[in-house]
Structure 1
């Protein structure tokens, strides 16, 4: 797996339950706490199932974490970013959902340019992903907690991203 920007990645928070009788497909993904000049965090609303998510998605092949983070943020928000390499990977989740076993690695990044346009996949468009909302850390966390997702996927994403954002707030002391 590609670099973590840290020699000792955090111990993963387990979400879901591993079942011995299920053959899981393993997936590795990036989640990015993306901060603009006003120190606001990018949140994306998935209208179809009514949940909020952090920018991020799957790591492709042997892609480095930093490259995956930059690509995913650009695709979902249109912004170009710089990962805070001095902070490294701030949190990891290990998720079991249906036949998926996913590791999500969270990083903090600063926006360099927010003038680009999002380039959402057909699946993301079908989920009703919105342009990012830029919110203070506290408001972003409150908004993520307040929704009641209408799907199992939405509930998993809510638990994962509330945890990851909480860890970012702890690390950033904001």
Structure 2
């Protein structure tokens, strides 16, 4: 995948050579509604944090299929990937015995069905999504105080992705 500019990377946590890590590839998206100039944020009640739509890439999926599936499940929205389907930022996380690389894409809203298809776990964790302006999203993500270690990792990762998106938007506007 050729890129015009270096891809920003956020490393969270540190690799411990004494640990054998499980490897996981994941995809995230800035789900952007051009008509309202808003992005989708998911609030996780259990753990009190905000996250971007996304999740793990299944064995039979490429990134594009995975992000479309995750967004449909978590928000009920269908999408089109922007930037020719290329990711614009990524994170590398070292958490407990997990080494996860998340690739973040920009997804334009095609249709909001209003029918998320949350898993039992997502329902139990109290996932809800909302549309918000970019500045409000950044403020909410920066100010929230997660009550779980997972929430703290996700806050750091997804705030980075939204900041990189805001920077990309600002550069495009110049």
Query: Is TM more than 0.5 here?
Result: yes
In structure 2, the CA distance between the partners of 1:105 and 1:50, relative to structure 1 (3 Å rule), is same
1:149 aligns with 146
Report the Cα distance in structure 1 between the residues aligned to 2:60 and 2:169, rounded to whole angstroms: 29
Are 2:165 and 1:171 aligned? no
Unaligned runs of 5+ in 2: none
Give the structure with the larger strand fraction: 2
1:51 aligns with 49
Report the Cα distance in structure 1 between the residues aligned to 2:89 and 2:105, rounded to whole angstroms: 8
Unaligned runs of 5+ in 1: 1-5
Report the Cα distance in structure 1 between the residues aligned to 2:71 and 2:99, rounded to whole angstroms: 23
Are 2:122 and 1:161 aligned? no
Deviation at 1:122, TM superposition (A): 1.5
CA offsets 1:31-62 (integer angstroms, 9 cap, x no match): 00001121200001000100000000000114
Deviation at 1:87, TM superposition (A): 7.0
8 Å CA contact 2:8, 2:88 repeated in 1:
no
After TM superposition, the runs of 4+ consecutive aligned structure 1 residues lying more than 6 A away are none
2:10 aligns with 13
2:88 aligns with 90
**3-state secondary structure, aligned to 2:28:** strand
The RMSD of aligned alpha carbons is 1.5
Are 2:134 and 1:137 aligned? yes
TM-score (norm 1): 0.92
CA offsets 1:106-142 (integer angstroms, 9 cap, x no match): 0001100002411111121121111x11111110010
Report the Cα distance in structure 2 between the residues aligned to 1:62 and 1:172, rounded to whole angstroms: 33
Deviation at 1:86, TM superposition (A): 3.6
2:20 aligns with 23
8 Å CA contact 2:76, 2:116 repeated in 1:
yes
Deviation at 1:88, TM superposition (A): 2.1
1:100 aligns with 98
* Greater Cα offset, 143-152 or 7-16: 7-16
1:123 aligns with 121
Report the Cα distance in structure 1 between the residues aligned to 2:160 and 2:101, rounded to whole angstroms: 14
